[in-house]
């Protein structure tokens, strides 16, 4: 029985592998019609995170078009890239099934994942086929502890982001003559918010801040009045929120409603200062908000083009677009290095080389032994005069931080 | 410890938000009381109403409160059609059938909204959204105060319809004795649909009250469904007065729990009350049947 | 269609799946089959209580999640082997079932009241699992990848699929046993009319307790197996309402209170979900709209589940009188 199974699985593997190799190894034969390489994009196109999936797809499609227009993958005789979209339906099982589908449809490499739970099961499914998987923006540290040779993460992890956030916070606060002494943390109770809150709670006191309160709330939240009431009674100098867009909308509106004006709002992922939508709809509530988030290099001209593409699609720009644009660029470079669409070769290319990071401010991306991009870096942004400006680090900065924001 | 002002304000807020919860629960309890069905499409229908209010504002510049006057009859008609032509005929009157059909409908509605409006979070910005009503030292949110008033008014109106109009009498007759009602010539299918329509119309009003301070996306309604179920149970399934009092009570409980325990664990308070009521007095505070 | 014939058909169908898997299926199909079996098992558990006992639960996630968390915690925190974890998971799941049953049946809850209280229990467990440290809080828990029989993980997933098929077959036999046993007869009696059953001397509290314990045990087994396949859970996966809905959907669409109903339902629903994916036409959501419409049509034209519909067709062909529609 066992030998039967093994021989069958080996045979099927050989067949699919052979077919793939045949289509790819033929550049010399069919010059008129260059072969294509399929790139899978795993994103939530339906369900609670559907908006993130939409934005990610715009970025990925833009990158694919750009690469194809520039002559495709040169090492593969100008092979064109084709995007396969797998809908993870915003949940973990469907994420695994969609990854299986991408594998069955012949994807040579998969990018995306978005949320940590989906990235978890999606990468696990990909690991069975050694299918290279580059995570776009899932932050959980646990993702990269599983020793899966096919899994790479383009974006900064939780702890990397928290490090940057704390370092810059100290810089900003020192520059203001230590205006902020007391801090309140408001976070959603999922993986993202709770994880960051825990790190902040542990490390802020060492840096001279007093954490006066940590408040968690569920997603979706129906109401923020009680959270804001607590803040009104505690009067913290600085509020550190960490939640998704909808909750930030409620939170910021309720702060404004209840006339709570802290010296600053310093959001970790998903505040106003990384959302053009929020800034355009609620300019007053957005003014002065600072954010630490995945963010494209503002000085890269492609950034403006992507913004225009998102606007044309009738949507508002957010980090999903530049990060997925860039992760496709990394995938394309991996194909160039690998000189083949063979999975083993792509995985090896990803782990051995340095990559241009598209429009993300990562310099050269380099994946370490766990698969984490060691140069990944979130940026600090602030809403100033109705515009989102990068304020840290200096080489990307468009403006100086304004803190305290309310004079 | 919080200052008394903060606590009073939390209580007032809970009461005002609870009134809107009650409005959502009113529709649910009415439908349960007459049709004896748990309507799982209620949340999706609330989302539909919220999109309708948003459309009225965005495309025709109608104020959300004024838009209620237009959206309510539309939701009424939608509710009538759904029950009369889809839920009624396809569920064959069995509990499991109704459960599946309403769940199926909610999947259809939610994804139609996704296909039609895309996944964007939509909001309405009005001048008065940030307005406050100062009552002594308390700063009460203007939209919330309006919400409380309109909710109470709606409950009163619903009570009037049920007790003082012919269709109301027919609804109550069918709720009490379905077979008897059909024997004296009441068209039960019509009465069922009218009940469902009234319950759905309540959602239009709730949507109008929510939109000035809330947002809408295809999955928004889900946030309010569980809490509405809790209120229906607490007040006694099928009781209008129960839903009203239950809503106000749950609003206050939620406010107090989240003030002292945080919003996440505060939600447990709601479910514990829900479980306790079911275990100790399943008929709820004002339930009629045992 | 006799009961035994139904059982044989179901077994033949599973045998066919097993052979297909052995001969070699593309990974995505195998993955789908694996998930179908997990949902079928969950629904078989639901069917014991909701189908035969007429006590529809909206909260089987409470059992599914307890099984899943128990085996995960035992494996990751205490290094205990997956099979022992599975046994403990089933035991604890059954205990949670007994506890919820004790409280709700003592209070005499049935119908919508029972449905809603199970929903509330599952929600309380979800919120707790999301905040407690030993359940990993909001980050959830990961079972590390170890391919061996004792870890109930296999490099070749066909082994895992075969194990699942064995469990579903056991579920089928258990259901068949239930139909023949005195316990099953009492259970059906109290579904049809609990007051009459009580008047005839049936200890309905004890019967209900046995039913919910058995039901919870099977569903928590499914939870344990879910973890071994996906290797990751968090509170929303384990205790989320999705699995409660999946369980009752599968059982009712297939045919509540029948042997093969849960299996038929899970195969149809999940298969349909995959097939409709090709209907989206590039617009997100359209596939799920189609799925929902087919679901409603299913209820409209097969009120006794697909199993009942097929049985009626068969009877009509044999010129036998149709079964009277049964209101569960």
- The tally of CA atoms less than 13 A away on the side-chain side of residue A149 is 11
Does residue B34 or residue C169 have the better pLDDT? Answer: C169
Residue of C109, C300, C328 with shortest CB distance to B282: C109
Beta bridge pairs of residue A112 = A42, A135
Among chain B residues, CA nearest to C123: B271
- Cβ neighbours of B3 in A, within 8 Å: 233
Residue C172 CA to residue B62 CA, distance in Å, equals 59
Query: What pLDDT shows up at residue B261?
Result: 78
Q: Say if the Cβ atoms of A100 and C138 lie within 8 Å.
A: no
Query: What pLDDT shows up at residue C221?
Result: 98
Longest dimension (CA), chain C: 62
DSSP H or E run through C111: helix C111-131
> Across the A/B interface, how many CB contacts are shorter than 8 Å?
106
Residue B246 lies in a domain: no
Backbone phi, then psi, for A296, in 5-degree steps? -75, 155
Q: Which pair of structure tokens corresponds to residue B265? A: 């664990």
Query: What pLDDT shows up at residue C320?
Result: 61
Inform me whether the C-beta atom of residue B90 falls under 8 Å from chain C C-beta atoms.
Answer: yes
> Across the B/C interface, how many CB contacts are shorter than 8 Å?
136
Closest of A377, A375, A389 to residue A167, by C-alpha:
A377
Question: How confident is the model over A270-323, as pLDDT tens digits?
Answer: 777 788 888 988 888 899 999 999 999 999 999 999 999 999 998 888 899 999
Averaged pLDDT, C292-312: 89
Residue of A45, A46, A93 with shortest CB distance to C35: A93
Q: Which pair of structure tokens corresponds to residue C35? A: 């998930």
Residue A27 CA to residue A75 CA, distance in Å, equals 10
Q: Say if the Cβ atoms of C142 and A120 lie within 8 Å.
A: yes
Query: What pLDDT shows up at residue C146?
Result: 85
In chain B the beta strands, taken as DSSP E runs, fall at 122-123, 132-135, 138-141, 215-216
Query: What pLDDT shows up at residue A270?
Result: 74
> Could you tell me the residue range of the domain that residue B207 belongs to?
18-221
- Cβ neighbours of A93 in C, within 8 Å: 35, 230, 237
Domain count of the fold of chain B: 1
Residue B248 lies in a domain: no
Please say if the pLDDT value at position A9 is more than 60: no
Q: Say if the Cβ atoms of C140 and A5 lie within 8 Å.
A: no
Contacts of C243 (CB under 8 A, 6+ apart): C42, C60, C61, C64, C65
Residue B34 lies in a domain: yes
DSSP assignment letter at C320:
-
Closest of A127, A125, A131 to residue A108, by C-alpha:
A131
Does residue A166 or residue B260 have the better pLDDT? Answer: A166
Report helix angle B188-210 to B166-176, nearest 10. 110
Residue B268 lies in a domain: no
Q: Say if the Cβ atoms of A148 and C288 lie within 8 Å.
A: no
Residue of C127, C130, C145 with shortest CB distance to A146: C145
Query: What pLDDT shows up at residue A32?
Result: 47
Instruction: Please answer whether residues A179 and A173 qualify as being in contact, where contact means their C-beta atoms are separated by less than 8 angstroms.
Output: yes
Question: For the purposes of burial, counting CB atoms within 10 Å of the CB of A16, is it exposed (0-12), middle (13-18) or buried (19 or more)?
Answer: middle
Number of residues that make up chain A: 407
Say if residue A393 is preceded by a cis peptide, omega within 30 of 0.
Answer: yes
The sign one gets for the Cα dihedral C300, B76, B202, B113 is positive
Say if residue A220 is preceded by a cis peptide, omega within 30 of 0.
Answer: yes
> Terminus-to-terminus CA distance in chain C, angstroms?
20
Maximum mean pLDDT: which of A281-285, C5-9, C41-45: C41-45
Question: How confident is the model over B183-211, as pLDDT tens digits?
Answer: 888 999 999 999 999 999 999 999 999 99
All CATH 3.40.50.2300 domain ranges of chain A, comma separated, are 2-156+300-366, 159-293+379-396
Distance between A360 CA and the closest CA of chain B, angstroms: 24
Contacts of C46 (CB under 8 A, 6+ apart): C57, C60, C215, C219, C247, C248, C250, C251, C262
- Cβ neighbours of B259 in A, within 8 Å: 226, 229-230
| Residue that is written with structure tokens 């695994």 in the block | A96
- Cβ neighbours of A223 in B, within 8 Å: 13, 17, 254
- Average pLDDT over chain A, rounded to whole? 88
Q: For the domain with range A2-156+300-366, which CATH number is right: 3.40.190.10, 3.40.50.2000, 3.40.50.2300, 3.30.2290.10? A: 3.40.50.2300
Instruction: Please answer whether residues A357 and A363 qualify as being in contact, where contact means their C-beta atoms are separated by less than 8 angstroms.
Output: yes
What are the Cα distances from residue B271, in Å, to B253, B278, C26? 11, 11, 44
- Cβ neighbours of A244 in C, within 8 Å: none
Query: What pLDDT shows up at residue B25?
Result: 96
Query: What pLDDT shows up at residue A244?
Result: 86
In A103-181 the beta strands, taken as DSSP E runs, fall at 109-112, 133-135, 151-153
Instruction: Please answer whether residues A399 and A381 qualify as being in contact, where contact means their C-beta atoms are separated by less than 8 angstroms.
Output: no
Residue of A12, A53, A146 with shortest CB distance to C24: A12
Instruction: Please answer whether residues A122 and A114 qualify as being in contact, where contact means their C-beta atoms are separated by less than 8 angstroms.
Output: no
Whole-complex ipTM: 0.90
Beta bridge pairs of residue A188 = A217
Residue A60 CA to residue A80 CA, distance in Å, equals 14
Please say if the pLDDT value at position C6 is more than 80: yes
Question: For the purposes of burial, counting CB atoms within 10 Å of the CB of B51, is it exposed (0-12), middle (13-18) or buried (19 or more)?
Answer: buried
Cα angle: C254, vertex C260, C265; to 5 degrees? 25
Averaged pLDDT, A151-158: 94
Q: Picking from A39-53, A186-200, A371-385, C229-243, which range would have the lowest pLDDT averaged per residue?
A: A186-200
DSSP H or E run through A388: strand A387-392
- Average pLDDT over chain B, rounded to whole? 91
Q: Which pair of structure tokens corresponds to residue C310? A: 């097929």
Residue B136 CA to residue B133 CA, distance in Å, equals 9
Q: Say if the Cβ atoms of A46 and C137 lie within 8 Å.
A: no
Residue of A6, A87, A124 with shortest CB distance to C231: A124
Instruction: Please answer whether residues C260 and C55 qualify as being in contact, where contact means their C-beta atoms are separated by less than 8 angstroms.
Output: no
Residue A281 CA to residue A262 CA, distance in Å, equals 21
DSSP assignment letter at A207:
G
Q: How confident is the model at residue A7 (pLDDT cuts 50, 70, 90)?
A: very low
Give contacts of B 1-60 with C, CB under 8 A: 32, 36, 38
Neighbours of C, requiring at least 3 CB pairs below 8 Å, are: A, B
Residue B227 lies in a domain: no
Among chain C residues, CA nearest to A158: C139
Residue A33 CA to residue B64 CA, distance in Å, equals 57
Please say if the pLDDT value at position B215 is more than 50: yes
Task: Please give the full DSSP string across C280-295, using - where no structure is assigned.
Answer: -TT-TTHHHHHHHHHH
Q: Which CATH superfamily is domain A159-293+379-396 in?
A: Response regulator (3.40.50.2300)
Inform me whether the C-beta atom of residue C116 falls under 8 Å from chain A C-beta atoms.
Answer: no
- Average pLDDT over chain C, rounded to whole? 91
Please say if the pLDDT value at position B229 is more than 50: yes
Please say if the pLDDT value at position A34 is more than 80: no
Instruction: Please answer whether residues A196 and A242 qualify as being in contact, where contact means their C-beta atoms are separated by less than 8 angstroms.
Output: yes
Residue of B89, B237, B264 with shortest CB distance to C127: B264
**Cα Rg for chain C, rounded, in angstroms?**
20
Contacts of C206 (CB under 8 A, 6+ apart): none
| Percent of chain C predicted with pLDDT > 90 | 70
- List the single best residue of A1, A44, A97 to mutate versus C (max C Cβ within 10 A): A97
Residue of A8, A101, A193 with shortest CB distance to C23: A8
Among chain B residues, CA nearest to C114: B278
| Residue that is written with structure tokens 């369900």 in the block | A47
Report helix angle B4-35 to B166-176, nearest 10. 80
- Cβ neighbours of B237 in C, within 8 Å: 112-113
Query: What pLDDT shows up at residue B1?
Result: 67
Residue B247 lies in a domain: no
Contacts of B290 (CB under 8 A, 6+ apart): B283
Q: Say if the Cβ atoms of B271 and C107 lie within 8 Å.
A: no
Please say if the pLDDT value at position C125 is more than 90: yes
Contacts of A265 (CB under 8 A, 6+ apart): A238, A239, A240, A241, A252, A255, A271, A272, A288, A289, A290, A405
Among chain C residues, CA nearest to B95: C328
Contacts of C74 (CB under 8 A, 6+ apart): C80, C84, C85, C88, C89
Beta bridge pairs of residue A40 = A84, A110
Task: Please give the full DSSP string across A92-111, using - where no structure is assigned.
Answer: HHHHHHHHHHHHHTT-SEEE
- List the single best residue of C128, C296, C312 to mutate versus B (max B Cβ within 10 A): C296
Q: Say if the Cβ atoms of C288 and A8 lie within 8 Å.
A: no
Residue of B9, B114, B263 with shortest CB distance to A215: B263
Distance between A104 CA and the closest CA of chain C, angstroms: 6
Number of residues that make up chain B: 290
Query: What pLDDT shows up at residue C158?
Result: 93
Distance between C248 CA and the closest CA of chain A, angstroms: 18
- Cβ neighbours of A233 in B, within 8 Å: 2-3, 6
Q: How confident is the model at residue B81 (pLDDT cuts 50, 70, 90)?
A: very high
What are the Cα distances from residue A305, in Å, to A357, B92, C72, C118, C253? 17, 56, 47, 52, 49
Distance between C287 CA and the closest CA of chain B, angstroms: 8
Interface residues from chain A to B (CB-CB < 8 Å): 46-48, 50-51, 53-54, 189, 215-218, 220-223, 225-227, 229-230, 232-233, 245-246, 249-250, 253, 256-259, 277, 281-282, 314-316
């Amino acid at each position: 029985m066992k030998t039967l199974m093994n021989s069958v699985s080996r045979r099927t593997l050989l067949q699919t592998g052979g077919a793939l190799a045949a289509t790819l190894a033929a550049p010399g034969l069919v010059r008129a019609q260059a072969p294509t390489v399929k790139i899978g994009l795993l994103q939530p196109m339906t369900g609670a995170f559907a908006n993130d999936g939409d934005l990610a797809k715009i970025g990925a499609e833009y990158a694919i078009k750009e690469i194809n227009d520039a002559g495709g993958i040169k090492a593969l005789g100008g092979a064109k890239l084709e995007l396969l979209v797998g809908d993870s339906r915003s949940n973990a099982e469907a994420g695994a099934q969609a990854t299986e589908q991408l594998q069955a449809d012949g994807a040579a490499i998969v990018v995306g994942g978005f949320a940590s739970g989906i990235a978890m099961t999606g990468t696990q499914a990909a690991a069975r086929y050694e299918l290279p998987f580059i995570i776009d923006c899932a932050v959980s540290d646990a993702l990269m502890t599983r020793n899966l040779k096919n899994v790479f993460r383009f974006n900064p992890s939780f702890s990397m982001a928290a490090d940057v956030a704390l370092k810059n916070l100290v810089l900003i606060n020192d520059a203001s003559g230590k205006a902020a002494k007391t801090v309140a943390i408001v976070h959603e109770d999922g993986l993202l918010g709770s994880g960051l809150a825990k790190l902040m709670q542990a490390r802020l006191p060492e840096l001279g801040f007093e954490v006066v309160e940590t408040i968690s709330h569920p997603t979706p939240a129906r109401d923020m009045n009680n959270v804001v009431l607590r803040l009104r009674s505690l009067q913290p100098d600085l509020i550190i929120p960490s939640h998704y867009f909808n909750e930030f909308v409620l939170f910021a509106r309720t702060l404004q409603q209840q006339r709570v004006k802290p010296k600053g709002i310093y959001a970790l992922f998903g505040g106003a200062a990384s959302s053009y939508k929020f800034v355009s709809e609620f300019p007053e509530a957005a003014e002065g908000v600072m954010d630490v988030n995945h963010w494209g290099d503002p000085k890269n001209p492609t950034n403006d083009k992507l913004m225009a593409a998102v606007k044309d699609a009738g949507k508002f720009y957010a980090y999903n677009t530049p990060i997925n644009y860039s992760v496709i660029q990394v995938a394309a470079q991996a194909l160039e290095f690998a000189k083949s669409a063979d999975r083993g070769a792509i995985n090896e290319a990803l782990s051995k080389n340095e990559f241009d990071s598209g429009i993300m401010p990562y310099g050269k991306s380099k994946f370490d032994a766990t698969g984490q991009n060691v140069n990944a870096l979130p940026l600090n942004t602030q809403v100033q005069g109705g515009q989102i400006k990068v304020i840290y680090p200096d080489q990307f900065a468009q403006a100086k931080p304004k803190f305290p924001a309310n004079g | 410890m919080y200052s008394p002002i903060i606590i009073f304000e939390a209580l007032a807020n809970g009461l005002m938000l609870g009134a809107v919860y009650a409005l959502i629960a009113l529709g649910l309890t009415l439908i349960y009381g007459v049709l004896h069905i748990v309507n799982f499409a209620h949340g999706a229908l609330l989302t539909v109403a919220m999109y309708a209010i948003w459309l009225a504002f965005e495309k025709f510049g109608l104020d959300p409160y004024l838009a209620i006057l237009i959206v309510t009859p539309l939701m009424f008609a939608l509710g009538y059609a759904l029950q009369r032509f889809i839920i009624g005929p396809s569920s064959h009157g069995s509990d499991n059938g109704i459960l599946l059909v309403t769940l199926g409908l909610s999947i259809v509605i939610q994804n139609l909204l996704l296909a039609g409006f895309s996944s964007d979070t939509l909001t309405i910005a009005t001048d008065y959204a940030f307005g406050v009503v100062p009552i002594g030292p308390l700063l009460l949110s203007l939209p919330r105060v309006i919400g409380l008033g309109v909710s109470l008014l709606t409950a009163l109106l619903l009570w009037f319809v049920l007790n003082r109009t012919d269709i109301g009498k027919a609804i109550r007759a069918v709720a009490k004795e379905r077979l008897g009602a059909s024997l004296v010539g009441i068209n039960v299918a019509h009465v069922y649909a009218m009940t469902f329509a009234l319950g759905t119309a309540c959602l239009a009003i709730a949507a109008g009250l929510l939109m000035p301070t809330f947002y809408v996306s295809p999955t928004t309604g889900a946030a309010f469904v569980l809490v509405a179920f809790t209120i229906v149970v607490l007040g006694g399934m099928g009781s209008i007065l129960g839903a009203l009092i239950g809503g106000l009570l749950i609003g206050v409980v939620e406010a107090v729990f989240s003030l002292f325990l945080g919003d996440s664990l505060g939600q447990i308070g709601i479910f514990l009350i829900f479980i306790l009521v079911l275990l100790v007095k399943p008929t709820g505070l004002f339930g009629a049947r045992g | 269609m006799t009961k035994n014939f139904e059982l044989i058909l179901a077994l033949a169908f599973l045998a066919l799946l097993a052979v297909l898997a052995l001969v070699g299926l593309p990974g995505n199909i195998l993955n789908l089959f694996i998930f179908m079996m997990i949902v079928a098992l969950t629904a078989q558990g639901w069917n014991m209580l909701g189908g035969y006992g007429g006590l529809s639960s909206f909260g089987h996630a409470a059992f599914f999640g307890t099984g899943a968390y128990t085996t995960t915690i035992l494996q990751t925190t205490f290094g205990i082997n997956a099979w022992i974890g599975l046994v403990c998971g089933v035991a604890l799941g059954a205990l949670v079932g007994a506890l919820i049953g004790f409280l709700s049946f003592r209070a005499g809850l049935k119908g919508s009241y029972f449905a809603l209280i199970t929903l509330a229990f599952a929600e309380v467990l979800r919120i707790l699992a999301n905040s407690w440290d030993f359940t990993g809080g909001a980050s959830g828990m990961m079972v590390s990848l170890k391919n061996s029989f004792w870890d109930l993980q296999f490099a070749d997933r066909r082994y895992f699929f075969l194990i699942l098929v064995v469990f579903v077959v056991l579920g089928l036999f258990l259901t068949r046993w239930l139909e023949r046993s005195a316990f099953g007869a009492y259970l059906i009696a109290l579904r049809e009319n609990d007051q009459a059953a009580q008047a005839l001397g049936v200890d309905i509290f004890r019967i209900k307790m046995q039913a919910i314990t058995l039901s919870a045990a099977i569903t928590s087994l499914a939870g344990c197996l879910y973890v071994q396949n996906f290797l990751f859970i968090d509170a929303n996966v384990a205790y989320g309402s999705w699995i409660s809905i999946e369980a009752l959907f599968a059982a009712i669409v297939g045919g509540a209170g029948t042997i093969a109903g849960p299996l038929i339902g899970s195969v149809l629903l999940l298969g349909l979900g995959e097939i409709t994916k090709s209907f989206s036409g590039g617009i997100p959501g359209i596939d799920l709209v189609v799925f929902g419409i087919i679901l409603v049509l299913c209820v409209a034209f097969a009120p006794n589940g697909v199993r009942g519909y097929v049985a009626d067709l068969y009877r009509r062909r044999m010129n036998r009188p149709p079964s009277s529609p049964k209101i569960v």
